[in-house]
Amino acid sequence: MAEPNAAIPIETLRLENGLRLTLSADRTAPIVAVNLWYHVGSANEREGRTGFAHLFEHMLFQGSEHVAANEHFELIQRAGGTLNGSTWLDRTNYFETVPSHQLELALWLEADRMGRLLPAMTQEKLDTQRDVVKNERRWSVDNQPYGSWWERLPALCFPASHPFHHSLMGSMEDLSAASLEDVTTFFRTYYTPDNAVLSIAGDIDEDEALRLVDRHFGWIPRGNGRPPLADMSVPEKFGTWLRELVEDDVAVPRIFLVCRTPVFGSAGYYAANVIATMLGTGRGSRLHETLVRERQLASTATAFTFDLAKGTDLLVVDATARPGVAVEALEQGVADVLDELRMNGPRDGELARALAQTETDFVTSMQSSGDRAEQLSRLATYLADPGLLNDQLARYRAVTDDSVRMMASDRLGPDNRASLLYVPRTAGLVS
């Protein structure tokens, strides 16, 4: 029987052009995942171009010098693979999971668009993807109850000058303003091998994989260095209780209550993440037990960390009111749960239960080659060391009742809260 603590094989190296590569072999099934993170996200957008990093991600599926528009999808799906990309505040990722004998195809496709995107870019493709993205905005934000929380929450939690403050999805106006010249500049500045990490997990021979990576990515020239971001640092705590009330086309109130917590990968992060589990993972968690089961103020109540690596992380409580419960009562209920933990610390056995869940979740996610490659890219990008994957469980196990108590007492108080409160539009406003 395999040991829960058995190390995952991890090999790292750097190509001459600065591309960082992580290999993790697991030959139990003929599957391999390729995962490429570019260290660029909405935080890098210039003024008047909100939403551009994400629009640009769409353009990466519109072909490159030797690949036609949508051929990337075609070739990977024809090979029996799955693929996608996603944009976040500070990174953009592209990933494929393919049968392992198709590894080279996935590498070639990623390399062609990293090295030779621009010859394939046209005004027509940009116009089409701009419209697709505007429809994505309507679908995920404008025509979805509470859909604006993705942009309102960072806006509330970071000051206006901060790179995380503005909308990732972007405004319709800024999307309309994006030009082909923006595409060229953004590509040359950020889509360079020295601003990317590549992770390959699954059924590989390490030497062969390295040879293929070098063959396809080795020729791509290094970039000119990325321009510095505005200062990301913010005070450890809000220093007050921020509140924003939003009237929306929703049936019942919902609250997002946020605390600033230590950044991803820091010693304090693990304690904050364990607190999020205690508060809001599963039917035995405090929020569920108190707000859903006992007091019946909420129909759902969960908590999670954003896992931001710069400035501050955010611990978010997300609770939806039962019909008839006022938003003030819901907010007070959430505050009561935070106060209870903040003032009295963890109960007997509570930490052990949270750690047992975290351990199962971690091992479960390691089954998927795609998840494994994604975690490696995250650690390589944010902490410069994918080998930390094998230390994650030890870091969680190092969390003690005392460190939970101290973290809760320091960070869950009224001097470090931001409430984003959604309420149904008042009757007079409904058409």
Partner 1 sequence: MSSPVITHPLPGPLRPYRFPAFERTRLPIGLELIIAPVRRLPLVTIRFVLDVGARLEPRDQAGIATLTAASMAEGTARLDAAALAEEFERLGGALSSYATWDATHVRTTVLSSRLGNALSLLGEVVRTPAFAPREVERLKEERLAELLELKSEPRGLADERFGSSLYKRTSRFSVQEGGSERTVRSLTVESCRAWHDRQFAPSTTALVVAGDIDADDTYRLASEKLADWQAAAPATVSVDDTPANTSRTVRLLDRPDAPQSELRLGHVGLPRSHPDYFDVVVMNAILGGVFNSRINLNLRERNAFTYGAFSSFEWRRDAAPFLVSTAVATPVTAAAIREVVTELQRIRAEVPTADELSLSTSYLDGVFPIRFETTDAIAGALASLRTLRLADDFYDTYRERIRAVTAEGVSRAANQHIHLDRLQVLAVGDRTQTGPMLTDLDLGPVTIIGDDDE
Angle formed by the axes of helices 327-344 and 267-280, to 10°? 130
Span from 137-145, 222-230, 337-345, 390-398 in contact with partner 1 (CB under 8 A): 137-145
Span from 123-131, 182-190, 265-273, 401-409 in contact with partner 1 (CB under 8 A): 123-131
| Shortest reach from residue 393's CB to partner 1, in Å | 12
Residue of the chain from 12, 122, 128, 409 that contacts partner 1 (CB under 8 A): 128
SS3 call for 25: strand
Of the pair 140, 185, the CB lying nearest partner 1 is at 140
Of the pair 157, 278, the CB lying nearest partner 1 is at 278
Q: Six-digit token pair at 406?
A: 């101290």
Q: Are 49 and 178 in contact (CB under 8 A)?
A: yes
Of the pair 144, 266, the CB lying nearest partner 1 is at 144
Q: Are 300 and 319 in contact (CB under 8 A)?
A: yes
Q: Six-digit token pair at 48?
A: 């008047």
Q: Is 160 exposed, middle or buried (0-12, 13-18, 19+ CB in 10 A)?
A: exposed
String of contacts with partner 1 for each residue 59-98, x by CB under 8 A: ------xxx-xx--xxx-xxxxxx--------------xx
- What whole-number distance in Å separates Cα of residue 199 and Cα of residue 422? 40
Residue 369 touches partner 1, criterion: CB under 8 A: yes
The one-letter amino acid code at 394 reads A
- Per CB under 8 A, contacts with partner 1 among 149-178 are none
Residue of the chain from 12, 144, 390, 392 that contacts partner 1 (CB under 8 A): 144
- Per CB under 8 A, contacts with partner 1 among 310-349 are 320, 322-323, 349
Distance of CA 327 to the CA centre of its chain: 28
Of the pair 240, 364, the CB lying nearest partner 1 is at 364
- Per CB under 8 A, contacts with partner 1 among 370-429 are none
Of the pair 48, 80, the CB lying nearest partner 1 is at 80
Span from 37-45, 238-246, 305-313, 358-366 in contact with partner 1 (CB under 8 A): 358-366
Of the pair 130, 165, the CB lying nearest partner 1 is at 130
CA distances from 207 to 33, 106, 196, 211 (A): 16, 17, 21, 6
**How many CB atoms sit inside 10 A of residue 188's CB?**
13
Of the pair 70, 224, the CB lying nearest partner 1 is at 70
| Shortest reach from residue 341's CB to partner 1, in Å | 16
Partners of 11 in the beta sheet?
23
- 249 — phi, psi (to 5°)? -80, 70
Measured CA angle at 7 (ends 281, 2), to 5 deg: 80
DSSP single-letter state for residue 6 = P
CA distances from 356 to 6, 316, 367 (A): 17, 22, 17
- What whole-number distance in Å separates Cα of residue 126 and Cα of residue 60? 11
- Per CB under 8 A, contacts with partner 1 among 174-203 are 203
DSSP single-letter state for residue 302 = E
| Shortest reach from residue 262's CB to partner 1, in Å | 25
H/E stretch holding 409: helix 401-411
Q: Are 110 and 214 in contact (CB under 8 A)?
A: no
Of the pair 354, 418, the CB lying nearest partner 1 is at 354
Q: Is 7 exposed, middle or buried (0-12, 13-18, 19+ CB in 10 A)?
A: exposed
| Shortest reach from residue 92's CB to partner 1, in Å | 18
Residue of the chain from 296, 332, 344, 400 that contacts partner 1 (CB under 8 A): 296
**How many CB atoms sit inside 10 A of residue 266's CB?**
14
Of the pair 160, 430, the CB lying nearest partner 1 is at 430
b/e map of 356-371 (b: 16 or more CB within 10 Å)? ebbbeebeeebeebbb
- What whole-number distance in Å separates Cα of residue 311 and Cα of residue 164? 9
Residue 145 touches partner 1, criterion: CB under 8 A: yes
Of the pair 122, 409, the CB lying nearest partner 1 is at 122
Residue of the chain from 7, 119, 123, 143 that contacts partner 1 (CB under 8 A): 143
Of the pair 129, 416, the CB lying nearest partner 1 is at 129
- Per CB under 8 A, contacts with partner 1 among 236-295 are 249-252, 282-284, 288-289, 292-293
Span from 153-161, 191-199, 333-341, 351-359 in contact with partner 1 (CB under 8 A): 351-359
Would you mind telling me the total number of residues written for the chain in this entry? 431
Residue of the chain from 39, 152, 216, 378 that contacts partner 1 (CB under 8 A): 216
| Site size with partner 1, rule: CB under 8 A | 92
